[in-house]
Amino acid sequence: MTKSKTGTFLKTIGAPEASLLRILPVVLSLVCCQAVIATPGKTEINPVSTPSQEKSVGGKISGDVSLSGRVRVTEDLLVLPGATLTVAPGTVVTFSKSESNKVEPEYFFGGTELVVRGTLRAAGASFLFQERSGGIVVDGGGADLADTVVAGAETGITLLRGGAVAADGVLTVTDCRVGVSLFPGSGGWTGAGEVRLRKNGLGAVRFPGAGALPGTFRPGDSEEADILEWDAGPVPREEKQPSQPAPRAGALHLGDTFLDRNRTLSGDVVVDGVIRVAPGATLAIAPGSRLFFAFRDTDGDGIGENGIFLQGNLDARGTKERPIGFHALDGKGPGRWDAINFMASDRGENVIGNAEISGAYRGIHAHFSRLRGSGIRISGCYRGIQFQESGVDLSGVEVASSSSAIRCRDSDVRIDGIRIRDTASGGNFFRSRVAISSPDVSRPGWYGFRFRESRVELASGEVREALVGVSVQEGSAGLDRTSIASCGLAGFALLEGDVKIDNCALSGARLDAVSATRGKAAVTGGRIEGFGRYAVKLGGPAEVSLLGVAVAGPGGAGNPVYDGKVAPGLGVVRIE
């Protein structure tokens, strides 16, 4: 466990971020103790020598840092805004396999990774990842790469949120589940350097709305597809986003505040500290109130620490006409303040209604707590919502323009009417009981919904434009009257488990409508149509049955399946 952004409480280890189907299996990892934290200024990382003279590094990098020789990364590396990591020619950087169920929103994959929010410069270097886990994520920063090799990652190089790469010479990305992925809003890929994408699961993925893939890409020998790019037509018109609000003159100012008795906040409030609510006390926030959190970053990691921490209870009931606001005071981008944190807040009622949350590290974070919420809009955060060991009942919730929408572990969750837009990963649920009705998910990134070791009910909604629409690994799931449309790799993916899909529509998958590796999937009624490769593709001894399903693929194909009749050792697809 690590210190939280409140400065005194703990983040909790949870489930890994989504991995992709058979070509992106789940990677569980345990965050190691920090080996080296680089300090501001011109810095040569002080090595921890091993008998082989391999240097061990890890942690957050600020200032100017140089690496050379043989280097082992023992925990995630985060290059902070304004910092520069330079990797000298001939340097071999090996990333240890991580065993953590890490949940920190600033990271993206289960394995050990390098996240660049500042600048990465590498020439003639090699970045070697273990067992197709981790990768290099250029998240709002820039990477100058020349004659460099990236191998063995979950995704070799990912660009998002303004991240940009300038390539020179020959850049080789090999033996990764995905070689390069480009998200909408990335800064683009420049430079005349040839990009050799060889022997990856997918060579390059361009998510809907992202810029064009460079002509310098040279993919080949990919397991699934060399290039995967798809657009689902015009982007639905969205409501105009309001400009960042500012507090009115005469706003109340609060520093670090401890509440051991009930208190009500009203009007505009500027918070330059952490509001802590003791067990037995309730913080009430009046309709129309707006809380503005100043940026305070005492540990220099680029993430704001001010926020609300509740071991007591929160009563924040706005109205449609007078919503409650939780906003950053200044600065743009996610992580300007911490979160609305509920910690062991299960002895009273927590309510959030008709509220807007923006610019946070995590919009809502609950651990060992109970929460009821409705009419909540969360935008511009690293993570919209995160729950661990909690009971949650939500309705009419939207998460937009954030790295991940929802992360949940060991919880009971009911959500009616969830809307997800423009994320890198949608809803991820681990070891939980989940009931979701009327979802509206568009452009969620890697996954619309991913369920692992969970019991799931998903009904009466739509998931579209994900790489994988809905994924189930272990546990059981029932999908009813759900539309999964215009996905890239697969509409529905079963890695292992028992699934029933009733009266659903799976349409427009760029590759496969249904992918299954192990377990059983019974598909009844509904339709499967418009897929680019297979209606059902098996990757292992799975059993899939189609009963009363209308199947139509390219050119009106009636029964395109890939199973044991095509490749010995696979399971069987039964069609009735």
Report pLDDT digits (tens) over 12-36: 223 333 334 334 332 222 222 233 3
Q: Range(s) for CATH 2.160.20.10 in the chain?
A: 410-576
Number of separate helices (H) and strands (E) present in the chain: 0, 52
**pLDDT the model gives residue 109:** 83
Q: How many CA atoms lie within 13 A of 197 on its CB side?
A: 31
Is residue 85 a contact partner of residue 62, using CB atoms and an 8 Å limit?
A: no
Give pLDDT, residue 20: 44
Strands 155-160 and 119-123: unpaired
pLDDT digits (tens, 9 = 90+) for 429-483: 999 999 999 999 999 999 999 999 999 999 999 999 999 999 999 999 999 999 9
pLDDT above 90 as % of the chain: 81
| pLDDT over 90 at 48, yes or no | no
Locate 15 and state its tokens. Answer: 């489930």
User: Hey, is 555 helix, strand or coil?
Assistant: helix
Report the pLDDT value the prediction gives residue 558, as an integer from 0 to 100. Answer: 54
Residues 251-271, mean pLDDT to the nearest whole number: 97
As a CATH number, domain 410-576 is: 2.160.20.10
C-alpha gyration radius of the chain: 24
What's the pLDDT band for 10 if we cut at 50, 70, 90? very low
Q: What is the pLDDT of residues 192-248, one digit of tens each?
A: 999 999 999 999 999 999 999 999 999 999 999 999 999 765 555 555 555 689 999
Using the structure block, give the residue that is written with the tokens 């609510």. Answer: 277
- The per-residue pLDDT for 559 is 62
Cβ atoms of 129 and 112 within 8 Å: the answer is: yes
pTM of the model: 0.89
- In sequence order, which residues have a C-beta less than 8 Å from that of residue 387 and are 6 or more positions away? 365, 366, 367, 371, 406, 407, 408, 409, 411, 413
At 264, list the tokens: 């009500």
Non-local (6+) Cβ contacts of 305 within 8 A are 5, 6, 7, 274, 296, 297, 298, 299, 337, 338
553-575 average pLDDT score: 83
Task: Show the tokens assigned to 107.
Answer: 């990271």
Q: How far apart are CA 281 and CA 299, in angstroms?
A: 30
